[in-house]
Structure formats: structure tokens, C-alpha cells
């Protein structure tokens, strides 16, 4: 597949592909599902060319993702780094058992397939860009902005994990009251300059969380606010709350658990509804549009199928009148660099991107922690993603993976250590 052989013969081929699972320290952040465990899992991908150039990627580190990545990795050896169609074919055959249909990105919600393609696509694009000596955003068509805006991601949280994780408690302390959340926001804005605030909700009864929003509004009169209960509210609860949210938040993210509920709620409000839960694959777009269920799609190259898929999503959103923001999960600098490079190329990035990065203390890149200024990040300079691996850190975080005992994220299991009767059934309220 891909370009004819004579065009590719001068280019180095992929000679080795490595996937290293890692675990890094994660604070006890609360959400509708429970509480973050002491370690978050990721995979670090290296796609090496015959000349020794290495392209990097970062993705999920759960057992299913690791199995899919491990199955596809050896099949990339011998491919041209430019042969992204070859990647899609290998991943599709390996994960679905059927050949690729020619569609460039999985249309249906085969998350494992989209995740696998996206993970290797980033590493192959990074490799291409490094081989050409170009920054990744240039390979993606060019940056339309020099710096990408990010939002402060605020969480209710415990001061420390229930079981001693073998490392000191995070520096943020407990955050359960309105005053705590305002203090957390002030500290985050002071440290990073964020110009938008996102409150992770679905933890407490919604009126209490809306009181937190009002406290944030009082402390930050000019910062756009958003709230995300991850489908934790029933349709009737969400309808009841609309008057308290209209005019307060720039968008309401996943208030209710299903696409149909989102459609019914959207019919009752002019407040934009956003999602990273109900519209998560290209095949979901027609029904989303038919129902008018979502006005803001949170892109995420990790599960939409990669950086080019993220750009295509943004194009489709523009054509069909949807807005684009960006979703995040606990992640390290390779993911942040990829998010920033692609976000820099998207003209219709309508909102500041989410990031969990301020909550993370560990890093796997040699450049150290990437630094936000005025709530924004420039794509790291240099060829490709602009970040390189710290192999000592990689080995240490892999060792943590081996010993931490976590193989799949399970916030509910962790929460049952505090409350044995805990259930993460949704809607909660």
C-alpha cells in the first residue's frame, strides 16, 4: 500500500517499533465514576527508522489498548514511515479481522481500532517530520496560531489517596468546598495563566456544584466557565438546572448520559451542549446532527483516530456548524505536544483546550515539563513533536507500571475503598 516503491526506495523504512507501558503518579481527583487511583497508565510508542530516527507517540495504557498496540507493532516493521494507509490496513485487519474498507478513519465506534491507528499515526507523523527536519505542525499543513490556549481543569479532590501509594501527597491539598475550588483555580491561574476554567462535576448534588460555579464566577468575573458532570445528571435534573446555568457557562459538557437525552435537552436551551461521551466517532455525527444534540464536539486525537482525523473532524464541524474544543485524560508531555501541534493547525478551534497536565508531576520527556505561559503553549520547537524521550524516566515509569498493580483504570473500585457501597451508575442525580 501507499506510494509506489520507486518513490519510497530512497527513504528509510521502519526497522523497529516499541511500546512501553508506564504508570505515573496521579492525585485523588473526584468525578462521577469515583476517584482517580494513585497511578495513571499510559503507553509510550517509539517507531524507529533504519537510520535511527525515532518517532514518538503516547496513548492509553490499559490492557486492551496494550494488546492491540502489541498486535499491530510488528506489522509496521518494513513499512515506509509515510505509509499511513499501510498502518490503517494492518490495524484494521489485526483488530477487526477484516481488511480495511478504504475509509481512512473508523466510522463506527470501534474505539480500540481508532485508538490504535491514532497512537501509531502520531508516532509515524513525528518520524516523517523528523526525517524532513520539519516541526509536526508544518507537516500537518501549517500552524494558524503560534500558541494554543488551554483551560484550567478544576477538580474536587481528596488530600491524599486512601492507601499509601509510596510517594508524598500532591501539593494541591483537599478541595471539597467552594472556597477550596476557588483557591485551586487561583493557584492554577497564578501558575499557568489560564484564561478559562473547567469544573469537573457529577461529584456532589448539582446545586452544590453550581454554587461552586457561582463562587468561581465571583472570583473570576471575566473567565469563561464550563462544567462537566460526565453524564451524571438525569434529563429532568438537567432541564431543571438550565436556568441556573444559562448565561453562566460558555458550554455545558455531557450533562446527561445519552445522545437522545442530549437532543432533548438541547431542544430546551440556547446554551451550547458539548461532549466527549456521546459523539466520539465519525459514525456518530449524522445522528448527532439529526437530533441537534451537540453544539461543541471535544476532539481528541487519541480516540478519534489521530492528528489527521482531528483535522478532518474540525473541517466537518465547520461545515455542519458545530464548534470544536479538545478533550483530555491524565497524560504526559508527548500527548501534550501532539495536542498542541494539531491544535495549532485547526483554524476553527473555538475554545481553550482541556488538559490534565498541571495535575501530573512525573514526566517522560527529556525537555522536562512543558511550560504554559498566559494559559497557552507553543508547539515545542524542533523537528517533529519537538520532544525527546528521557530513557531513565521511561525505565523508572515502566518499573512503576510493573509494580503498581493497576492494569485498567477503575475509579469506582478506588472509591469503594472510601465508601464500600459506591456505585458509578449514571445518572447519579
Span of 70-78, 247-255, 313-321, 373-381 interacting with Mg ion by CB under 5 A: 247-255
Q: Binding of Mg ion at residue 31 (CB under 5 A)?
A: no
Question: What is the Cα–Cα distance from 256 to 426, expressed in whole angstroms?
Answer: 9
Q: Are 62 and 408 in contact (CB under 8 A)?
A: yes
Tell which positions 17-36 bind ligand GKR, by CB under 6 A. Answer: 29, 31
**Contact with ligand GKR (CB under 6 A) among 46, 178, 180, 228:** 228
Q: Which of 92, 88, 79 is nearest to 128 (CA)?
A: 79
Question: What is the Cα–Cα distance from 293 to 285, expressed in whole angstroms?
Answer: 10
**Contact with ligand GKR (CB under 6 A) among 161, 200, 284, 302:** 200
71-108 burial string, b = 16+ CB within 10 Å, else e?
ebbebbeebbbbbbebbbbbbbebbeeeebeeebbbbe
Question: What is the Cα–Cα distance from 91 to 85, expressed in whole angstroms?
Answer: 10
Question: What is the Cα–Cα distance from 212 to 240, expressed in whole angstroms?
Answer: 18
Question: What is the Cα–Cα distance from 281 to 406, expressed in whole angstroms?
Answer: 27
Strand partners, 20: 44
20 binding partner (options Mg ion, ligand GKR, none; Cβ < 5 to 8 Å by kind): none
Q: Binding of ligand GKR at residue 343 (CB under 6 A)?
A: no
Q: Are 349 and 314 in contact (CB under 8 A)?
A: yes
Question: Nearer to Mg ion by C-beta: 36 or 130?
Answer: 36
Span of 102-110, 139-147, 180-188, 272-280 interacting with Mg ion by CB under 5 A: 272-280
Question: Nearer to Mg ion by C-beta: 311 or 328?
Answer: 328
> Is the preceding omega at residue 427 within 30 degrees of 0, hence cis?
yes
Q: Binding of Mg ion at residue 362 (CB under 5 A)?
A: no
Tell which positions 52-91 bind ligand GKR, by CB under 6 A. Answer: none
Q: How many CB atoms lie within 10 A of CB 246?
A: 12
Q: How far is the CB of 357 from ligand GKR (least distance, A)?
A: 12
Residues that bind ligand GKR (rule: CB under 6 A) add up to a total of: 11
Helix axes of 235-245 and 206-219: crossing angle, nearest 10 degrees: 20
Block residue for cell numbers 492494569: 407
Q: Binding of ligand GKR at residue 327 (CB under 6 A)?
A: yes
Q: How far is the CB of 253 from Mg ion (least distance, A)?
A: 5
Span of 16-24, 228-236, 258-266, 386-394 interacting with Mg ion by CB under 5 A: 228-236
Asked about 111 being catalytic, the answer comes back as no
Q: How many CB atoms lie within 10 A of CB 381?
A: 8
Q: Binding of Mg ion at residue 228 (CB under 5 A)?
A: yes
Catalytic annotation, pick one of 111, 284, 302, 327 = 327
328 binding partner (options ligand GKR, Mg ion, none; Cβ < 5 to 8 Å by kind): ligand GKR
**Contact with Mg ion (CB under 5 A) among 59, 128, 212, 276:** 276
Asked about 239 being catalytic, the answer comes back as no
Question: Nearer to ligand GKR by C-beta: 49 or 278?
Answer: 278
What cell was used for 330? 491524565
Q: Which of 241, 243, 279 is nearest to 260 (CA)?
A: 279
**Active centre residues (catalytic):** 200, 327
Q: What is the binding site for ligand GKR (CB under 6 A)? A: 29, 31, 200, 228, 230, 276, 327-330, 354
Q: What is the binding site for Mg ion (CB under 5 A)? A: 228, 253, 276
Amino acid at each position: 500500500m501507499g506510494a509506489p516503491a520507486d518513490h519510497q526506495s530512497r527513504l528509510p523504512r521502519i526497522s523497529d517499533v516499541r511500546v512501553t507501558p508506564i504508570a505515573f503518579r496521579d492525585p485523588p481527583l473526584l468525578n462521577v465514576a469515583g476517584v482517580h487511583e494513585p497511578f495513571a497508565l499510559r503507553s509510550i510508542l517509539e517507531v524507529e527508522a533504519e537510520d535511527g530516527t525515532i518517532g514518538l507517540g503516547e496513548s492509553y495504557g490499559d490492557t486492551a489498548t496494550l494488546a492491540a498496540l502489541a498486535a499491530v507493532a510488528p506489522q509496521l516493521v518494513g513499512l515506509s514511515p509515510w505509509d499511513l494507509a499501510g498502518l490503517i490496513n494492518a490495524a484494521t485487519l489485526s483488530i477487526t479481522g477484516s481488511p480495511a474498507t478504504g475509509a481512512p478513519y473508523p466510522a463506527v465506534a470501534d474505539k480500540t481500532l481508532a485508538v490504535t491507528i491514532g497512537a501509531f499515526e502520531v508516532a509515524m507523523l513525528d518520524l516523517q517530520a523528523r526525517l524532513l527536519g520539519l516541526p509536526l505542525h508544518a507537516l500537518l499543513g501549517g500552524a494558524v496560531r503560534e500558541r494554543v490556549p488551554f483551560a484550567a481543569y478544576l477538580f474536587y479532590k481528596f488530600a491524599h489517596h486512601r492507601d499509601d501509594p509510596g510517594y508524598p501527597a500532591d501539593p494541591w491539598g483537599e478541595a471539597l468546598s467552594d472556597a477550596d475550588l476557588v483557591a485551586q483555580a487561583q493557584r492554577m491561574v497564578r501558575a499557568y495563566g489560564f484564561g478559562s476554567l473547567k469544573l469537573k462535576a457529577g461529584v456532589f448534588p448539582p446545586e452544590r456544584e453550581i454554587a461552586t460555579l457561582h463562587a468561581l464566577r465571583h472570583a473570576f468575573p471575566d473567565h469563561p466557565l464550563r462544567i462537566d458532570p460526565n453524564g451524571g445528571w438525569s434529563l429532568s435534573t438537567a432541564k431543571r438546572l438550565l436556568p441556573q446555568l444559562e448565561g453562566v457557562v460558555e458550554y455545558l459538557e455531557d450533562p446527561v448520559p445519552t445522545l437522545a437525552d442530549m437532543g432533548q435537552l438541547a431542544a430546551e436551551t440556547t446554551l451550547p451542549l458539548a461532549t466527549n461521551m456521546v459523539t466520539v466517532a465519525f459514525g456518530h455525527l449524522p445522528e448527532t446532527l439529526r437530533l441537534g444534540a451537540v453544539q461543541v464536539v471535544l476532539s481528541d486525537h487519541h480516540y478519534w483516530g489521530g492528528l489527521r482525523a482531528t483535522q478532518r473532524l474540525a473541517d466537518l464541524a465547520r461545515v455542519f456548524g458545530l464548534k470544536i474544543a479538545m478533550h483530555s485524560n491524565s497524560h504526559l508531555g508527548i500527548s501534550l505536544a501532539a495536542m498542541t501541534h494539531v491544535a495549532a493547525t485547526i483554524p476553527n478551534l473555538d475554545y481553550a483546550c482541556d488538559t490534565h497536565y498541571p495535575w501530573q508531576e512525573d514526566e517522560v520527556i527529556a525537555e522536562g515539563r512543558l511550560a504554559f505561559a498566559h494559559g497557552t503553549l507553543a508547539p515545542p520547537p524542533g523537528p517533529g513533536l519537538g520532544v525527546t524521550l528521557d530513557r531513565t524516566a521511561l525505565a523508572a515509569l515502566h518499573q512503576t507500571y510493573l509494580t503498581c498493580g493497576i492494569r485498567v483504570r477503575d475509579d469506582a473500585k478506588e472509591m469503594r475503598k472510601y465508601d464500600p457501597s459506591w456505585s458509578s451508575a449514571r445518572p447519579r442525580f
